[in-house]
């Protein structure tokens, strides 16, 4: 794959390039600044970007944000490789659209794992491209295949991050830095109905409608949202204090009402939304940090008559 490595330190680039070559990655271009990187991106499509954070002029985080505004690189995997380990840098990088975050000094096995992850993401891009075409046309001309359980990027859901990136963010934080982080799930209770009764495009279109309603409802909130598969979305908030969840659920459901005519024409029910309580990881917990996502989704999937706990604490 074609990789663009951006770092103002020639010594580090001299270490990185042989490590990539050992992994069979020989199509690597380099840039020493954000401006130089943007110039290369304007003329050459790349499959993956490796960005340093601290660079003169334009930081790697600023560069990441610029890259995400380029249509050709809206979903290109971006891995931050940096010596900056502070939570504010991690938060800013993933909020800007980073896919993964690796700290220096770089371990060869760690780099291998990240490159393998990028290759898996690239293999999923063909599905995403077909979905985006289908969303633009909202018709059945283009055949697509989706699995009910699979987490994939929702076309047009610009507010979202990929589920894998959300997992990488939590893994980078680790349990000790998640004390002020909470998650909540947003479940489409009748998602299986759309998957069974409509074409795959109908299922994806429904998710797109829900995503639009979510975007409108949380536009004033600082959070990262991803589609997790099986009709479930999950949001992570650093403050742990989003607007009252019952009110947020009502706002999202009200937004979906705007699509009522389309569903009536297709003889399908409106998507029914359920939000769960806030899930938190215990400061002393030894669980994988990404477990908070599973618990948030479980709370959202609870039966309406159940009263799930507002907080989850690892035993």
What pLDDT, on the 0 to 100 scale, is given for residue 305?
A: 44
What pLDDT, on the 0 to 100 scale, is given for residue 115?
A: 93
Contact (Cβ atoms closer than 8 angstroms) between residue 279 and residue 285: no
CA distances from 122 to 83, 86, 129 (A): 26, 29, 11
Q: What percent of the chain has pLDDT over 70?
A: 84
Contact (Cβ atoms closer than 8 angstroms) between residue 307 and residue 236: no
d(CA 265, CA 16): 56
Per-residue burial over 23-44, b if 16 or more Cβ lie within 10 Å, else e, is eebeebebbbbbebbbeebeee
Q: What percent of the chain has pLDDT over 90?
A: 56
Average pLDDT over residues 44-53: 95
Q: Return all residues near 67 (Cβ < 8 A) that are at least 6 apart.
A: 38, 41, 49, 73, 76, 78, 97
What pLDDT, on the 0 to 100 scale, is given for residue 122?
A: 84
pLDDT bracket for residue 287 (50, 70, 90): low
Q: What digits encode the pLDDT tens for the residues 79-112?
A: 999 999 888 899 999 989 999 999 998 999 999 9
Q: What digits encode the pLDDT tens for the residues 143-195?
A: 556 789 989 888 888 788 889 999 999 988 886 677 778 899 999 999 999 99
> How would DSSP label each residue in 178-208?
-TT-EEEEEEETTHHHHHHHS-HHHHHHHHH
Average pLDDT over residues 109-137: 75
What pLDDT, on the 0 to 100 scale, is given for residue 200?
A: 80
Measured distance between the N- and C-terminal CA atoms of the chain, rounded to whole angstroms:
44
């Amino acid at each position: 794959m074609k990789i663009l490595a951006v770092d103002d330190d020639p010594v580090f680039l001299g270490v990185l390039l042989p490590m990539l070559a050992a992994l069979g990655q020989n199509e690597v271009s380099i840039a020493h600044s954000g401006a130089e990187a943007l110039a290369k991106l304007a003329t050459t499509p790349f499959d993956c970007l490796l960005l340093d954070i601290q660079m003169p002029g334009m930081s790697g985080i600023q560069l990441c944000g610029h890259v995400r505004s380029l249509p050709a690189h809206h979903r290109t995997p971006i891995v931050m490789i940096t010596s900056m380990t502070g939570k504010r840098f991690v938060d800013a990088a993933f909020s800007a659209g980073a896919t993964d975050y690796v700290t220096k000094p770089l371990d060869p096995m760690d780099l291998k794992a990240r490159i393998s992850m990028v290759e898996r993401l690239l293999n999923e891009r063909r599905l995403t491209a077909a979905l985006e075409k289908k969303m633009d046309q909202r018709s059945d001309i283009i055949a697509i295949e989706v699995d009910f359980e699979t987490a994939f990027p929702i076309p047009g859901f610009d507010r979202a991050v990929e589920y894998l990136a959300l997992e990488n963010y939590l893994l980078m934080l680790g349990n000790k830095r998640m004390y002020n982080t909470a998650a909540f799930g947003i479940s489409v209770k009748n998602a299986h109905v759309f998957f069974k009764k409509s074409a795959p495009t109908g299922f994806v279109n429904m998710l797109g409608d829900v995503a639009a309603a979510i975007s409108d409802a949380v536009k004033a909130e600082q959070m990262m949202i991803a589609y997790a598969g099986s009709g479930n979305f999950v949001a992570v908030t650093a403050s742990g204090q989003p607007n009252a969840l019952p009110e947020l659920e009502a706002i999202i459901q009200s937004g979906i009402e705007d699509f009522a005519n389309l569903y009536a024409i297709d003889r399908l029910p409106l998507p029914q939304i359920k939000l769960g309580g806030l899930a938190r990881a215990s400061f002393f917990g030894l669980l994988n940090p990404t477990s908070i996502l599973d618990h948030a989704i479980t709370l959202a999937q609870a039966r309406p008559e159940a009263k799930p706990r507002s907080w989850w604490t690892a035993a």
